[in-house]
Chain A
Amino acid sequence: MEEPWSIEFKTYRTHIKNYSEDSRSKLMYSMNFSHHPRYNVIIKNKLGLLLSSDKINESVKERDTRIQDLIENDCSTGFPESLDMLLGSKLTNMWEQRQILRGDAGETFRTINCIIRCINLFSSTGFKGLIIEIESIGKGSVEVFNNKVNDIKDLLKEINIADYQISHDTLTEQTDLNPIESDTDNLCNLAYQYVRVLEY
């Protein structure tokens, strides 16, 4: 058992009439995870963007020299915000915030080769569902991980829950030769999986 965590999941929809015929591409999703406080993740179509959050402080600036470089080269004023702030203030004529899903006090369980995170999601109208996130840690093989996922599925079956969505989609080409390791890939793929699961 570890620290509780929380998530904020926002959906934006464009109200530009001729933006696109495809209803899915009119949507954009923004996510903030409490266990990744430095980032704000945006998913738009099949693009994943990793942005600074509004919780940038001195220590973050020092750790990421790229932010420091932007400030020293007069690109950034040094006080960035999350894109949510821009969407919600300057771009409201193009993007409209639709729904906010919030999850608070989520549980984290750490097993030998997995981290399992659970959280109840609520919208303004009520309970939306329980999210279970399974992440393998260390050098766990794909089979071990799939076994874990099957265990969870069995558990769900045992308590008579048949109605659930599962996603292991990725935004990047994932091959065994090229294991994803960067924060960007991990977070954006995770965010994309949230979108896929919550989209139904």
Chain B
Amino acid sequence: MVQQLSLFSSIDDKSYDLFIATMNTVSGNPPILYAKVSTVWIPNPSLQIEGANSKGQLVEKTRIKVSTDIPLSMLQQDSSSEPLNTDAIDHTILKTFQDSNMPINFKTLQDMMHGTDRINDEKQNAWCLSISDIPAAGNNRKVSMQTINESILLSHVGSNSNIETIMNELGYIFQYQYVTIGTRFNLKHNLILELQKIWNITESSKKQITKGGFLIKAFINVDKATDIDKMNLTESVLLNLQKELQGYITLAVPDRKSMDSRLVID
């Protein structure tokens, strides 16, 4: 169980260079390009799942997010061209993604999810299964605070074993998936700042949700919510960053309802 403390903001495409330069100076670290694919799963609606467990405690149906990293070698300028040279890819590539064109082949992503061939353990993709609570309530919260439970699936065996069959066995079915490509900065006190481009993808369409700009997320993960000192320190570290960037970008607490992964109670 992890507490994630975060603040969000956004910038437009043309501010990207300046912001990268600013963060480079503020953090003293170079920008790092990263990419991931996330799939979101919901409890199978055809199953009669009760809202309570055998002890009578209320348990709400929540989505599970299953995500894995995309190797940078998979990024392509467009679906027809050859993969880029990995060494040549850096954070500037994000500037070229201004429309809905996604630099990753849809089929390759599907193969990652349904792929069953395996040569050895290391070749098998590790996936992270995570369930997050709705962020903590309270009117005068200075930062968003969310509890995340996660487990890492390292590998699997069995005939026809892939992420889909595994999730189905757990009673979950696929809902939607999205790709995130972004740049991250590592700052002091485990503070991480990310600029993200997000694409919602289906077989027929790719839509960039962050069209025209970037989502900015600054966060710190704290492994023990009971460690009050650390929580307070973490909060002040985030607020310091907020102060430092004041007047330039506004890091704010998002609406907690937008970060609710529970299913609508019908």
Return A189 CB to nearest CB of chain B, in Å: 8
Give the docked Cα–Cα distance between A95 and B221 (Å): 28
- Contacting residues of chain A (78-102) with chain B, CB-CB under 8 angstroms: 78-83, 85-86, 89-96
Interface residue B51 (Cβ < 8 Å from any Cβ of A): yes
Of A47, A86, A92, A173, which contacts B129 at CB under 8 A? A86
Contact with B along A55-97 (1 / 0, CB 8 A): 0100000001011011011111111111101100111111110
Known: A70-B128, A90-B62. A52 touches B152 (CB 8 A): yes
Interface residue B59 (Cβ < 8 Å from any Cβ of A): yes
Give the docked Cα–Cα distance between A46 and B169 (Å): 11
Of B53, B157, B170, B182, which contacts A74 at CB under 8 A? B182
Would B194 and A74 count as touching, CB distance under 8 A? yes
Contacts of B151 in A (CB 8 A): 40, 51-52, 80-83, 85-86
Binds A, one of B32-40, B82-90, B244-252: B32-40
Return A177 CB to nearest CB of chain B, in Å: 15
Interface residue B223 (Cβ < 8 Å from any Cβ of A): yes
Q: How large is the interface on A (under 10, 10 to 19, 20 to 34, 35 or more residues)?
A: 35 or more
Chain B count of residues within 8 A CB distance of the other chain: 63
Most chain-A Cβ atoms within 10 A of its Cβ — which of B46, B61, B153?
Answer: B153
Interface residues of chain A, those whose CB is within 8 Å of chain B, are 14-19, 25, 28, 39-40, 44-52, 56, 64, 66-67, 69-70, 72-83, 85-86, 89-96, 171-173, 182-185, 188-189
Cβ contacts A to B, 30 pairs, < 8 Å? A15-B50, A15-B53, A18-B48, A19-B171, A46-B158, A47-B156, A47-B165, A48-B158, A49-B155, A49-B166, A51-B153, A51-B154, A52-B153, A67-B126, A67-B152, A76-B152, A77-B150, A79-B221, A79-B223, A80-B128, A80-B151, A81-B151, A83-B129, A85-B151, A90-B59, A93-B51, A93-B59, A96-B54, A172-B158, A184-B157
